[in-house]
Amino acid sequence: MSFDLNFIGILIGAIMASSVPLILAASGELITERSGVLNLGVEGMMIIGAISGFALMVVTDNLFFAVVGSMLSGLIISLIFGLLTQSLLTNHVATGLALTIFGIGMSAMIGKNFVGIPGKEFPLLFVNLKESIPFLGPVFFGHSIILYFAFGLPFLTNYFLKKTKTGLIIRAVGDSPTSASNQGINVTLVRYSCILYGGAMCGLAGAYLSLIYTPQWIENMTGGRGWIALALVVFATWSPIKVLIGALIFGGITILQLHMQAVGLRIPVQLLSALPYIMTIIVLVVISRDSRKIKLNTPTSLGQIFYKEK
């Protein structure tokens, strides 16, 4: 039986790995949304992070630069969104969509010369422990440092939002920008910072895909994960811990779907591939049905333009 148990351990490890980009992107977007900004550009920022991480890895041959660079490029591209929505007061939904379209196009343009180049091996931690302990080994060990960071992030985010002064300020800005502004808080500055942070996390999520998860560059390789991350934030009713749970559920569906295909069940591959999307819709319906529950944590000013008369 120990062999089977170990297999389940490996399966859980794979589920964890596939949920990492979702956790990173959704945690970043959660902070952005908590400050009252709805950035639909997650997919675009992720894909930019994916290509810049991969390109930097190829050019500098240094994984540290690649990871930091992917976060920086996510941050830079989210600055466009910040500039438009915060300084030029544009509509959040339309600007976010433009960011996604632009990001996908831009990444393909940059990535043209990086198609077909093999990736580099990303160092994994505690590999010896992974092999020596059955079941628990493959669950807890032998992962990249980004995975450990991703699994800590929701708890950090939760602590940050609930227990720190900065977290309180962010929530105040999201719930009532006018009163926050009257208290002397610079609403625009807070929102800019949250947008940039979200951008950096989405960039990192993209780099995880192109450097670790499937170490190569493929056009459009995020494949809708950015949108699922956005749905996760709603699914989690803006609570960081639930983001973690949701991401694991979606990671689980993705991995199980792959295994069901491999086993050769007589279910069309496409139906299995559609499962994560269909599940997202069903979950959204279940969550949103109770409008009181969803209103409890929804940032009141989400997606609204804030303008202070000078």
Nearer to other proteins among residue 87 and residue 183 (C-beta) = 87
The 3-class secondary structure across 38-95, one letter per residue, is: CCCCHHHHHHHHHHHHHHHHHHHCCHHHHHHHHHHHHHHHHHHHHHHHHHCCCCHHHH
Q: How far is the CB of 266 from other proteins (least distance, A)?
A: 12
Among 42, 45, 67, 84, binds other proteins (CB under 8 A): 84
CB count within 10 Å of CB 224 equals 12
**101's tokens:** 């379209």
276 phi and psi, to 5 degrees? -55, -40
Near other proteins in 56-75, by CB under 8 A: none
> Does 105 engage in binding with other proteins (CB under 8 A)?
yes
Residues that contact other proteins, how many (by CB under 8 A): 50
Distance CA 192, CA 35 (A): 9
> Which 20-49 positions form the footprint of other proteins (CB under 8 A)?
40
In contact, 28 and 202? CB cutoff 8 Å: yes
Name the residue nearer to other proteins (CB basis): 67 or 98.
98
Residue 292 as a binder of other proteins (CB under 8 A): the answer is no
Nearer Cβ to other proteins (156/281): 281
Q: Which two tokens stand for residue 143?
A: 């992962």
Task: Report the residue number, 90 or 181, with the smaller CB distance to other proteins.
Answer: 90
User: DSSP states of 197-254 as a string?
Assistant: HHHHHHHHHHHIIIIIIS-S--TTTTTTHHHHHHHHHHHTTT-HHHHHHHHHHHHHHH
Q: Which amino acid is at 250?
A: F
Which parts of 190-219 interact with other proteins (CB under 8 A)? Answer: 219
Between the alpha carbon of residue 281 and those of residues 85, 94, 104, 292, the distances in Å are 28, 22, 24, 19
Query: What mask of x and - would describe binding to other proteins in positions 218 to 257, judged by CB under 8 A?
Result: -x----x--x--xx--x-----------------------
Which residue stretch of 60-68, 162-170, 238-246, 279-287 sits at the interface with other proteins (rule: CB under 8 A)?
Answer: 279-287
Asked if 271 is part of the footprint of other proteins (rule: CB under 8 A), the reply reads: yes
Which two structure tokens, joined as six digits, stand for 102? 């632009």
Among 239, 257, 280, 301, binds other proteins (CB under 8 A): 280
- Cβ 236 to other proteins shortest distance, Å: 13
Helix (H, G, I), strand (E, B) or coil at 219: coil
Cβ proximity to other proteins, 8 vs 282, nearer residue: 282
**CA 57/CA 211 separation, integer angstroms:** 8
By CB under 8 A, name the binding residues for other proteins. 40, 80, 83-84, 88-91, 93-95, 97-109, 111-112, 219, 224, 227, 230-231, 234, 268-271, 273-274, 277-278, 280-281, 284-285, 288-289, 291, 294, 309-310
